[in-house]
Structure 1
Amino acid sequence: MLDTLAALPFWQAFLALFASAMVRSNGTYWVGRGAIAGWRRYRGAHGDLTARAERLIHRFGPFAVTLSYLTVGIQTAIHLTAGVVRMPLRWYLPAAVVGSVVWAVLYATVGLAVVQAWLAAEAGSWWGAVVVLAVVAGIVTWVVVRRRAVRPAPSSERPSHSTERSAPLD
């Protein structure tokens, strides 16, 4: 399928990717709208992921939906959560359209180029291998830098835990 998309003109690849993103995200949203009881079971099995998605939805609202298209691993949880919390369609749909457009443009340009480079690397081209390694190195660097930025700085002041008990105040 990826070979077929890569062979298409940009506008056709864009439309196919946009349509698939809209169908997937809206389908997930509507499953969330209709499956509150099932959601509670899902949440029990994936508490951390769904708690992150709920925090993002409550904090950023429609922006969380749009930005979710740039993530891996939490995108489905955000769309499902948007449905469960019954985000109004007047907020969800524009956010989903913008996110789908951004995702389709990125994937139809850079994403398909990476796939083509990967296929070229598999066929024995050194240039394809270099591109794939550069992309992987860039992603690893981004993840490492991001995690270091999120990690709290170690505090030089540690709370002292005295073994002495103070006398009760009367």
Structure 2
Amino acid sequence: MPEWMAGWPFLLVYLAFVLGAGCRSQATYWTGRGIAAGVLRSRWADRFDGPQTRRATASIERWGMPVIPLSFLTVGFQTAVHAAAGLLRLGWLRYTLWAIPGWFVWALVWAGGGMAAIAGAAALAARSPWALAGTCVLVVVAVAVLVRRARRRREERAAVEALAQH
């Protein structure tokens, strides 16, 4: 947690994180809306026209609105989902009502464990930068293995479905 928040009661820290999540998701949504309407022509238009935003758009089109609150449990994909919601011109009220539960979950993750994890990483780095580097390598390898397994399963399912169609 930032030093200036150190003495705050947890509820105030939590509500500050909720407000931050709300402001960030709304700003990203409205940037996407502005690009879709042709009002914003800037570097943001190029940033929002990438593979991750296309995946987010496809996810919303395939799975519907639950993708929005679930996106708050991801890193990176979250921004793409909010931009895609704006690019798809989803109604503001509908988008916001689906985003609000995500704000509260995101804030709980960061006000609780997320900031503790960052503080732990900083403490580990102070004791042994090599231990922090090793831990980071282990986390990256574990994530890569999990992603590879998920992709392999998806490819196997697609191959089975393709065979079943022939």
TM superposition score category, shorter chain reference: 0.7 to 0.9
Structure with bigger helix share is 2
Percent same amino acid among aligned pairs?
38
**Structure 1 residues 4 and 60, CA, compared in 2 at 3 Å: closer, same or farther?**
farther
Q: 2:116 aligns with which of 104, 113, 116?
A: 113
- Structure 2, gaps ≥5 residues long: 160-166
Partners in 2 of 1:147 and 1:25 — Cα distance?
A: 29
1:145 aligns with 2:146: yes
**1:69 Cα deviation (Å)?**
1.0
Partners in 2 of 1:136 and 1:18 — Cα distance?
A: 31
**Residue 73 of structure 2: SS of its match in structure 1?**
coil
Question: Which residue type is aligned with residue 59 of structure 2?
Answer: L
User: Is contact 2:71-2:78 (8 Å) kept?
Assistant: yes
Q: CA RMSD in A?
A: 3.0
Identify the residue that residue 162 of structure 2 maps to in structure 1. none
**Structure 1 residues 63 and 35, CA, compared in 2 at 3 Å: closer, same or farther?**
same
TM-score (norm 2): 0.74
User: Is contact 2:57-2:84 (8 Å) kept?
Assistant: yes
1:96 aligns with 2:89: no
What per-residue deviation string (whole Å, max 9, x for no partner) do you get for residues 82-140 of structure 1?
A: 012111233211221111110000111110111221222233289xx68x93x763564
Map 1:63-74 onto structure 2 (within 5 A): 63-74=66-77
Identify the residue that residue 163 of structure 2 maps to in structure 1. none
Identify the residue that residue 42 of structure 1 maps to in structure 2. 46
TM-score (norm 1): 0.72
Identify the residue that residue 24 of structure 1 maps to in structure 2. 24
User: Is contact 1:2-1:115 (8 Å) kept?
Assistant: no
User: Is contact 1:6-1:116 (8 Å) kept?
Assistant: no
Identify the residue that residue 166 of structure 1 maps to in structure 2. none
Tell which structure's C-alpha radius of gyration is larger. 1
